[in-house]
Structure 1
Amino acid sequence: MDYQIARHNMVENQVRTNKVTDPLVIAAMEEVPRELFLPEAKRGVAYVDEDIAVGGGRYAMEPMVIARLMQCAEIAETDVALIIGAGYGYGAALLSRVAETVVAVESDKDMTASAEATFQSANYDNVIVVEGDLAAGYPNQAPYNVIVFDGAVTEVPAGVLEQVSEGGRLLAVVRAEGKVGIARLYERENGVIGHRDLFDANIPYLPGFEPTESFVF
C-alpha cells in the first residue's frame, strides 16, 4: 500500500471537503504518517474516513474531526498544547507540527510506551509523553495555550479547565448519553471561561468519560 498517496487522498477527500482551510492544519495532515501511530494490524485502514478501534476501548479519532478541532483552536507556533487521551500519539503528532511544544497524557501504560517510542524513532522532539489520569489533565506543565481531548467526554473536568491559560482554548467533543456529540470551544478571557458550540461530531467516548449509570426507581 502506498501510504503517501492514501494520506494525500485523505486530505483532499476528507479534510478539505469538510471546511478545513487552515494551511498549517492541512500541511500537518499531509505530513504526519497516521499508520505509524496505529497498531500494526490496523495500518492497512489508517486512512479510512472513520474512527479506528485500537484496543482497550480506545479509538483513533476520525481524521476530519481532529483537523476541524485543530483549526478551531487557532494554534500559534509559540503555543504549548496538551492532548488528553493521546492513545498511540497521532493527535499529538499533528499538534506538534503546528504548536511549539505538545504534552501528551495517556492512562494506558502500553499505549504510552508505544507513542513515546514512535516519537523518538521519528524525531518528534517537541512532544512530551506522560502516563497519568486523563481526568486530571497534566497540571505539572500548566497553564496551556491549547488543550484538546482526543475522544468524546460527557463533560470537561473543572480541574482541566483550570489548566487553560489566559487567552487559551480548550477543544472537546461533549456528548450526552444518547445524543450526538457536539464539538465545543472553551476560552478563558479575563479569568473567565466561556464556551460555544461548533459542529456535530459523533466520536466514541474516552474511557472514564462515559455517562455514569443511573438507577431508576
Structure 2
Amino acid sequence: MDLAQSREIMVESQVRTADVTDTRILRAMRHLPRERFAPAQKRAIAYADLEIEVGDGRFLMRPRDLAKLIQAIGPQPGERGLEIAGATGYGAAVLAACCREVISQEPDGDLSFAAHAALESAGVVNVKTVSTAVVDGWKDEAPYDVILLNGSAEFVPDAWLKQLAPGGRLGVILRQGPVGAARIYTRSEDTIAFRIAFDAFPPLAPGLAKPRGFSF
C-alpha cells in the first residue's frame, strides 16, 4: 500500500470536496502519517472515509469532519489550543499545524500514552498530552484560544466555555439522537454566542451523554 498516495487521495476526495480550503490543514493532512495514530489492525483503513476505532468505543473522527471543525474555529499561528477526548492525538496533530501549541486531553490513560507515542513518532513537538475527565477540560493551563472536541456530545460542559480566552472559539458537534451539527461558540468579555457550521454525527465522546432529566 502506498500510504503517501492514500493520504493524497484522502485529502482530494474527502477533505477538499467538503469545502476545506485552509492550506495549513490540507498540508498537515497530506504529511501526517494517520496510520501511526491507529491500532496496527486498523492501519489498512487509516485513510478511509470513516471513524476509526482506537479503543473500546473510542474513535478518531472522519477526516472530513475533523478538517471542517478545525477550519471553523479558525486557529491562528500564535494561539494555544486544547483538544478534548483526543484519543490517540491525530486531531491535536492537525490542529498543532495551525497554531503555536496544543494540549491533547484524554480521560483514558492508556490512550493518552498511545497519543504521546504517536505524536513523537510523527515528529509533532508542539503537543502536550494530559489525562483527566472529559467534562473538566484542562483548567491547569487555561485559557485557550481554540478548543475542539474529538467526537460529539449531547451537552456542552460549562468548564469548556470558562476555559476559553476572550475571543476564543470552541468547536463541538452536538448530537440530538441520530442528528448532529457542529456548533462554534465564541467568547467575548462577558457573553458567549454560537453559530451552526455544518452537519455531522460522529460517535459520542465518553461522559457526554445527557443525564436523566437533563433539559436541553
Checking the alignment, whether the CA contact within 8 Å between 2:115 and 2:129 is kept in structure 1 is yes
**Aligned equivalent of 2:126:** 126
Q: Does residue 70 of structure 1 match 2:70?
A: yes
The secondary structure found in structure 1 opposite 2:208 is coil
Aligned length in residues: 213
Q: How big is the shift at 1:125?
A: 1.3
TM-score in terms of structure 2 length: 0.95
Identify unmatched segments of 5+ residues in structure 2.
Answer: none
Q: How big is the shift at 1:113?
A: 0.7
Please list, as runs of the form range in 1=range in 2, the aligned pairs for 1:28-177 lying within 5 A after superposition.
Answer: 28-176=28-176
Checking the alignment, whether the CA contact within 8 Å between 2:155 and 2:210 is kept in structure 1 is no
TM-score in terms of structure 1 length: 0.95
Q: List structure 1 runs of 4+ shifted beyond 4 angstroms.
A: none
The secondary structure found in structure 2 opposite 1:115 is helix
Checking the alignment, whether the CA contact within 8 Å between 2:55 and 2:111 is kept in structure 1 is no
**Aligned equivalent of 2:179:** 180
Cα distance in 2, alignment partners of residues 203 and 119 from structure 1: 23
Q: How big is the shift at 1:122?
A: 3.0
Identical columns (%): 40
Q: Please, what is the CA RMSD of the aligned residues? A: 1.1
Q: How big is the shift at 1:213?
A: 4.8
Cα distance in 2, alignment partners of residues 104 and 137 from structure 1: 10
Cα distance in 2, alignment partners of residues 49 and 38 from structure 1: 14
The secondary structure found in structure 1 opposite 2:179 is coil
Give a deviation string over 1:137-158, Cα, whole Å, max 9, x none: 0000100000000010011100
Letter in 1 for 2:204: Y
The secondary structure found in structure 2 opposite 1:175 is strand
The secondary structure found in structure 2 opposite 1:87 is coil
Letter in 2 for 1:173: I
The secondary structure found in structure 2 opposite 1:59 is strand
